[in-house]
């Protein structure tokens, strides 16, 4: 039998050692990236999106207990009633998300560093409705605005994701659209696949959209 050269045996040992050394990185990748996605998918399949949205809403209420909420049905009816003072609708997502689609006549406000510029000319008691993808970032803004003196601020339940899932109108550059920014791969599971725009995901310090 032909002997295996020492350098070949050593090379195989080095390759095996390098392979074993890479495994911790693989494990970290699985725990941080793959597992949450699979868990999220399982929750959506087993419990349904409605349960997922309710869990997010309850966690948001716990974080921001003082904010007021408005349902999607109530907002839609309000905006169709010319006899009522119409609310200023604020989109508390990133500019990239806003450009993909937003509620009709919504004005963008930066959820990370909100400013009062979008509210110029508005009285402190004018009605304001804030939304984000699922309601967390908009809750932050809804919590911040009363501290600036605004007395009639409402957070939209379910955000733009549930608004789209309800097949309610969204706009891009003044024209109707059905494509919505999914925020990222995990949170996008709350958005029905037919509405998910194929765009780069959001890089943000926020824990939830």
SS3 55: helix
SS3 108: strand
Q: CA-CA distance, 123 to 114, in Å (whole number)?
A: 18
pLDDT of 12 over the 70 cut: no
SS3 133: coil
Q: Do 98 and 126 lie in a common domain?
A: yes
Rounded to a whole number of angstroms, the CA Rg of the chain reads 23
pLDDT of 188 over the 50 cut: yes
Which pTM does this prediction carry? Answer: 0.77
pLDDT of 116 over the 90 cut: yes
Q: Do 129 and 166 lie in a common domain?
A: yes
pLDDT tens track for 19-57: 455 455 555 544 444 444 444 554 444 457 888 899 999
Percentage of residues of the chain with pLDDT beyond 70: 77
Nearest to 107 by CA among 92, 85, 121: 92
Structural domain contains residue 18: yes
- Residue 11: pLDDT band (50, 70, 90) is low
Structural domain contains residue 115: yes
Q: Do 141 and 170 lie in a common domain?
A: yes
153 and 142 in contact (C-beta within 8 Å)?
Answer: yes
pLDDT tens track for 117-163: 999 999 999 999 999 999 999 999 999 999 999 999 999 999 999 99
**Residue 138 is part of which domain span?**
48-195
Q: Do 101 and 154 lie in a common domain?
A: yes
């Amino acid at each position: 039998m032909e002997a295996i050269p020492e350098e070949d045996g050593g090379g195989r040992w080095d390759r095996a050692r390098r392979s074993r050394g890479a495994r911790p990185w693989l494990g970290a990748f699985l725990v941080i990236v793959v597992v949450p996605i699979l868990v999220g998918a399982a929750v959506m399949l087993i419990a349904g999106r409605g349960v997922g949205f309710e869990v997010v809403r309850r966690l948001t209420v716990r974080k921001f207990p003082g904010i007021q909420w408005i349902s999607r049905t109530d907002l839609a009816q309000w905006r169709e009633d010319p006899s009522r003072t119409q609310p200023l609708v604020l989109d508390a997502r990133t500019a990239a998300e806003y450009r993909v689609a937003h509620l009709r006549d919504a004005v963008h406000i930066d959820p990370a560093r909100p400013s009062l510029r979008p509210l110029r000319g508005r009285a402190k008691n004018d009605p304001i409705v804030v939304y984000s993808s699922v309601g967390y970032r908009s809750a932050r803004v809804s919590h911040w605005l009363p501290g600036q003196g605004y007395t009639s601020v409402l957070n939209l339940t379910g955000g733009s994701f549930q608004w789209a899932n309800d097949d309610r109108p969204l706009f891009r550059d003044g024209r109707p659209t059905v494509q919505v920014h999914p925020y990222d791969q995990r949170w996008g599971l709350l958005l029905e696949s037919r509405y998910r725009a194929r765009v780069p995901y959001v890089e943000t310090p926020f824990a939830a959209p």
